[in-house]
Structure 1
Amino acid sequence: MPINVLVVDDSSFFRRRVSEIIEKDPELTVIGTANDGKDAIEKAVKLKPDVITMDVEMPVMDGITSVKEIMKVCPTPILMFSSLTHDGAKATLDALDAGALDFLPKKFEDIARNREDAVGLLLSRIKQIAKRRVFRSRASLASSPSLRPAARKPLVGTKTEQKPSVSTSNFRAKRKSTFKLLAIGTSTGGPVALQNILTQLPSNYPYPIILVQHMPAAFTPAFASRLNSMCQIKVKEAESGDVLMPGCAYLAPGGKQMLVDGSSSTAKLLIKEDNSERLTYKPSVDVTFATAAKIYRDSVLGIILTGMGADGREGCRLLKSAGSEIWAQDEASCVVYGMPQAVFSAGIATESIPLNEIANKIISVS
């Protein structure tokens, strides 16, 4: 059976453009369109689509409010379209937090180097998130302790009074204090997954953290700022020359490559432009993890979270060959079980762990 798609946008031109692209794929069919967020809710309830494509900025009711309501009344996988601006980034992150599963730039020239690649990416994203069943709103999930953000960032120098309790599920990990770096790579579904994990880490977390999230350059400053406001640890968009410090997470800038340099005792980051067409992802998990393996050798805890494709597999292979530990998010808790599957199926990851257990396990080996 074809995947039924509801297309939502206030622009009749964009609705028609997206609908025509979707209809050309025999696995997809457009069962309806909506011109604002309120109309989208009514159509979602009536038509029960498998996937909804949603604009962020619309009259009558915006996309964020519409996502929240749809997740309450008829949870459906939603792909957001957003402008590549600071305000667009903030709105898209709000939409993901409300329950949307993924996003793409609204201008096709911002998606890929040519129209054919952009169309292919759009269709593959729709098919991927269609496989993901959505049961309830992100708001209801936020009431769970595992997803609740820290109420406030503690004063510098203070320690959290209590660490989260460690899960009793069976897992194998290195002894405490053998790691010197936490490295996390992710893509589709990553913003919410990273928020889940990082908001649970205490302000006195003893190691630096490097984060590679597939995300446009316009989005990473807003995402780093958002995480920093929610977490007890410090989170910043990485800059060239940053010295890796304990209790600080460094997010790779979109459109560039983040490299680890120096030595394990005085490691720093290098941010480099990447104009090559050899690498699909900028930033690339493989690139960052490979340099971490060179500098930290056997002292890295590498984690691959939800995401499409296989970026991170070769970087994790180098880390494991150097003696480091690799974990992967399990299939059931992933938005897209691509990157974690690539690592786990290759025999590189020692553990396949549910998202809501990862933070506790990180703390238990710190």
Structure 2
Amino acid sequence: MNKIRVLVTDDSAFMRKVITDILHSDPDIEVVDRAKNGLECLEKVKQLHPDVVTLDIEMPVMNGLDALERLMNEHPVPVVMLSSLTREGAEATIHALELGAVDFVTKPSGPISLDLHKVAERLIERVKAAAQVNGRLRRPLGRPGTTFPMRSPLFKQKTAWTLPAQPGTGTPGRTASGTSHPGTADSRVTPPASAIPRRASAVSKLVVLGTSTGGPKALQTVLTALPSDFPAPILIVQHMPAGFTKSLAQRLDSLCAIHVTEATDGEWIQPGTAYIAPGGFHLEVVQVSGGGLKTRLQQEEPRGGHRPSVDVLFESASRLTNVDKWAIIMTGMGNDGTKGLGRMREAGRVISIVEDESTCVVFGMPRAAIQAGLADNIVPLDRIAETLCKLLH
């Protein structure tokens, strides 16, 4: 078996050595060279054609985000980002995943982490997973102003819409109804707290979704294709550490016609809103008298190494009565979600959608559900939203 050839990129000589030593500790990995900035990384990728690149975000000459964008456009190669735990680091990491990075690992103590050994196992795992995706890399997602055709019968007013511009670009944004307002990135109006009902009415439809490696970009593809009047709440587990899910939710919320938020404990869930499990917490859905649904966050032991866990979310959904459910499993390592989907199938009133191998960054989670005989619909990523809308309609 050929070793996984890795190019390590970091502006710190110390960090380059530590990362190299960690990767060399695994017999299946070989570090072929090291680069001290993004420009040098680009040059060495052209020369060496590595299987995987590790890429720091904060570097002189050319930073990791600029280097990543050029790599994805000029020499696509699986990239694992090294990120800090700061808010700025989280936002940059989410942007890197949009640009095409396969996954990321957080430095425990900032740019120079003397304790990087704490995440050694995770780094090796991410590099090995990234090596599996060669040939299935996706180009960066369309920039603001890119029109995406919509074919769902739930789109009542328009057959195409435009992603909102970033503030200051001058490109028209859009309201939830599709009406343009010049220079507005997101024209939805959030009602004052006094106008938000303290108790929600009965919920008869629910979508639950689980994903892991490659998930942030896949979520953007699916959620941006849903209409503002989507008739069900969506509960989401994306395997991601604490501190990053909030940035992910905020980024998706700025792009979607539906509302996207990081879930909080005990909130009533509403149609047309997606709730992302916060890193470090299991997300469950519970039913109260009258048929309303609320979120529940808990920190019981990780399930299969994951907290949040897709299985935990799906199992909680299986306990709901008088609710029609749709379960979606998308790209990711391992088999999280399969046991929970089995519980939902036993309880009845569930239809599943599983991402097709052709569009998965990593086909682990979808493959497990398919092999268990739990996939009612197997569709490529760019048809998941359309399929979901048709099923709910």
Question: Could you tell me the TM-score, scaled by structure 2's length?
Answer: 0.81
Among 355, 358, 364, the residue aligned to 1:329: 355
Indicate whether 1:197 and 2:222 are aligned: yes
Task: Report whether the alignment pairs 1:75 with 2:72.
Answer: no
The code of the aligned residue for 2:324 comes to S
Q: Does 1:220 align with 2:220?
A: no
Q: What residue identity is the alignment partner of 2:65? A: I
Report the equivalent of 1:240.
265
SS in 2 for 1:59: coil
2:43 paired with 1:42: yes
Measured after TM superposition, the shift of residue 136 of structure 1 is 6.9
Displacement of 1:138 after TM fit? Answer: 2.6
Distance 1:94 1:359, change over 3 A: same
Change (3 A) 1:345 1:18: same
Over 3 Å counting, the alpha-carbon distance change for 1:135 and 1:319 in structure 2 is closer
Work out whether 1:362 is the aligned partner of 2:388.
yes
1:353: which partner in 2? 379
Counterpart in 2 of 1:58? 59
Out of 306, 309, 319, the position equivalent to 1:281 is 306
Equivalent residue letter for 1:364: K
Which amino acid counterpart does residue 341 of structure 2 have in structure 1?
A: C
Residue 107 of structure 1 and its aligned partner are, at CA, apart by 2.4
1:313-354 per-position Cα deviation (integer Å, ceiling 9, x unaligned): 111111111121112111121111111111111111122211
SS at match of 2:249: helix
**Matched AA of 1:16:** K
- The answer on 1:120 being equivalent to 2:121 is yes
Give how far 1:150 is off: 2.7
What whole-Å deviation, never above 9, does each CA across 1:118-137 have from its counterpart, x for those lacking one?
43332222122112124776
Structure 1 residue 141, shift from structure 2 partner? 5.7
For 2:163, which of 150, 163, 181 is the aligned residue? Answer: 150
Per mean C-alpha deviation after superposition, the further-off stretch among 13-22 and 183-192 is 13-22
| Alpha-carbon contact 2:98-2:141 (below 8 Å) kept | no
Deviations 1:70-117 (A, max 9, x none): 1122110000010112111100111111111111112289xxxx9888
Residue aligning to 1:175: none
Are residues 1:344 and 2:351 paired? no
Per-residue deviation, 1:25: 2.1
Query: Alignment partner of 2:82: what SS?
Result: strand
Amino acid at match of 2:133: R
Distance 1:41 1:104 in 2: 21
Identity among equivalent pairs (%): 40
User: 1:179 offset after TM fit, Å?
Assistant: 6.8
Residue of structure 2 in register with 1:316 after alignment:
341
Could you list the runs of 5+ residues in structure 1 that have no partner in the other structure? 162-177
- Do the aligned residues in 2 keep the contact of 1:182 with 1:210 (CA within 8 Å)? yes
Provide the C-alpha distance between the structure 2 equivalents of 1:59 and 1:294, rounded to a whole number of angstroms. 53
Q: Which is further off, 146-155 or 240-249? A: 146-155
CA change 1:146–1:302 in 2 (3 A) is: farther
Amino acid at match of 1:84: L
Residue 190 of structure 1: how far off its partner (Å): 0.4
Please say if residues 150 and 200 of structure 1, whose CA atoms lie closer than 8 Å, have aligned partners that are also in contact: no
- Report how far residue 42 of structure 1 moved: 0.9
Q: Does 1:18 align with 2:43?
A: no
Write the mapping of 1:156-305 to structure 2, written as runs, cut at 5 A: 158=177, 180-263=205-288, 265-274=291-300, 276=301, 280-296=305-321, 299-305=324-330
Separation in structure 2 between the aligned mates of residue 91 and residue 149 of structure 1, nearest angstrom: 24
Quote the Cα distance in structure 2 between the aligned partners of 1:340 and 1:108. 34
Q: Which residue number in structure 2 is paired with residue 7 of structure 1?
A: 8
CA contact (8 A) 1:154 1:232 kept: yes
Aligned-partner SS, 2:129:
helix
- The Cα of 1:273 is off from its aligned counterpart by 2.9
CA distance in 1, matches of 2:138, 2:359: 15
AA partner of residue 6 (structure 1): L
Does the residue aligned with 1:349 lie in a helix, a strand or coil? coil
Report deviation, 1:160.
8.2
CA change 1:138–1:309 in 2 (3 A) is: same
What does residue 185 of structure 2 align with? Answer: none
Distance in 2 (alpha carbons) for counterparts of 1:326 and 1:90? 32
Q: Is the 1:5–1:32 Cα contact (8 Å) retained in structure 2? A: yes
Deviates more, 1:56-65 or 1:193-202: 56-65
Separation (CA, whole Å) in 2 of partners of 1:98 and 1:262: 38
Q: Distance in 2 between matches of 1:26 and 1:146?
A: 47
- Name the CA shift for 1:23/1:226 in 2 (closer, same or farther; >3 Å): same
Retained in 2: the 8 A contact 1:306–1:334?
A: yes
Decide whether aligned partners of structure 1 residues 332 and 297 sit closer, same or farther in structure 2, where only a CA change above 3 A counts: farther
Q: CA deviation at 1:298?
A: 6.1
